[in-house]
Structure 1
Amino acid sequence: MGKDRRKTPRNQYTPLLSGDVQNAMASHAFERIRHCLLFCFYVELTCDYLNTVYQTNLDPRTAIEDSATHQIDVGYRNKKAQDFDESASSIIGMSITGYKAMDAAHFNNLGLNGSFTSTLFKYSKIDPMVSTLKSYCETMCGNTRLLPKCINIGPDKAVDSAQSKFKNTLFTDEEHPLISGPCISIKSVSHYMTLANSELEKYEKRYESENKLALSLSIKGYIHGFARAGAAEKKRRGNYLINELRDEVQEVVQQVNKHLSQFTSPLPSKITRACRMPGSALKDPQGLFDTRYYLDDSL
């Protein structure tokens, strides 16, 4: 936990997500990959926008920290409640909430570099689009759900580690691209899942050796959630997760283009992209900024 993390308390009217452990962990895993990909998209789009409009020199590789810098909601401690039974032989019907120690567990544990947020703050005072993008980045950084502390500092740490590795892979130097192309793609989804499942497997083996069967079984929930993210849809063409993200990416890119057309004159002649994407200019772009810079939904 970073001592400088910006925490926002829970809105008292926000519903509390509960349910059984298996389904809750599957849902949490899906949100983890969804938030991480959207966070990377928002940071990269924000860098591109500021570099294009204000000639800054921002780069996602240095804008993103390895641990969360923002947190929405807080955990709690209740001495009268029971402990989460780590050694339970079954998690069928076992609740995910109501235990003695509950943490606000991040969906995305990556954070925002101080220099990057200072730049956002500076330009947000003169450009409402920067203020909007700043809000998107911070929300995708700070969103959480309540989980038992032993899961947050246990299996969830495995996913934290995987997300750091994913970020380093995604925004690597252009000379050593392990993932080329837009940050949201079948390739990036697959790579995230490979990293996360590999880290979780290490924890699963350790818990089995320590007879912490409930924690070991909870990991199967994560794996089911990631499998859902990687699945192909039957009713719609393409990947389930990417289909879900497409509408949001398209809407935000349209917001940026609409803002530029209304408030920027003359319009920039070209987009200044992060150095990892040189030579990625598209023919017949749908606007100065183009959804295809950030999302590839081809199979």
Structure 2
Amino acid sequence: MGKRIEKVLVANRGEIALRVVRTLKEMGIASVAVYAEQDRESQYVSMADEAYLLSGDTYKDTYLNEELMLEILRRSGADAVHPGYGFLSEVASFAEKVAAAGAVWIGPSPKALTDLGDKITARRVATRAKVPPVPGLSESATDIHALFDFAHTHGFPIMMKRTDGGGGHGITIVRNDDELRGFYLNHDSLQGGDLKEYFIERFIDKARHVETQCGRDSHGNFTVYSTRDCTVQRRNQKLIEEAPAPFLDESVIRQLTQYSGNLFEAVDYVGLGTCEFMVTPQNKVYFLEVNPRLQVEHTVS
């Protein structure tokens, strides 16, 4: 039996902080809120058992301030930290510091955050877990010959994606040799560009974007709570999400569940997270990424 958690520092603000505080209250666990001056009158602050002011005018000074959060962790005597989503929820260094302070980090381990937080390393995790990623090269796009070889083997269009991209950002569709050469020259690292931050993937047209909302505990018990369809997008940003994803073949649902379990198992994932996949019209399932945190759209599921 693990030690019972008595008091949780909620290192976030707004709706997610409120929902965590409410849940802690229902569970009989004390809550510690943090707030910047502009959030002083927020409901989550008044509902928490304790609340501490984060002095500063910017997010960097307040909700992204690791040392200030750790100071409040010590002052409050909290024995666990819930990071919510956004802010410090995917910062491995903060998770490490929380553990070093003797508190429980409610979320994936620092190693899981690191392995899944970068799209190239996440592709390597998927390959190791026997989950097929979208065809691509799991390495930085620094060799133009390798890029042309890939494009000519798989055909245009292809995608250049930033390793740290998210929310639809950092994606460039390339449709021919000239565009690929132009992309390479515009981002050339030798000229001070950011080419090493990109990798190449095949562009899959007319596929559905389907996610699994998953959870795994410290004993290795895993579940998919629901699928979500987020195919309706504008500029690669999701507009509509529907749960469960409609009109999925049973074989696809089994694949999504198996692949998601494999991914979580591969990094000994603990907590809630989202696995993202492309599902082709031929019911082929390809891995995209894992979001190693509670996602804002989990309420859809």
TM over 0.5: no
TM-score w.r.t. length of structure 1 = 0.25
Structure with greater strand percent: 2
Structure with greater helix percent: 1
Task: Give the number of the structure whose alpha-carbon radius of gyration is greater.
Answer: 2
TM-score w.r.t. length of structure 2 = 0.24
Greater RCO structure (CA 8 Å; 6+ sep): 1
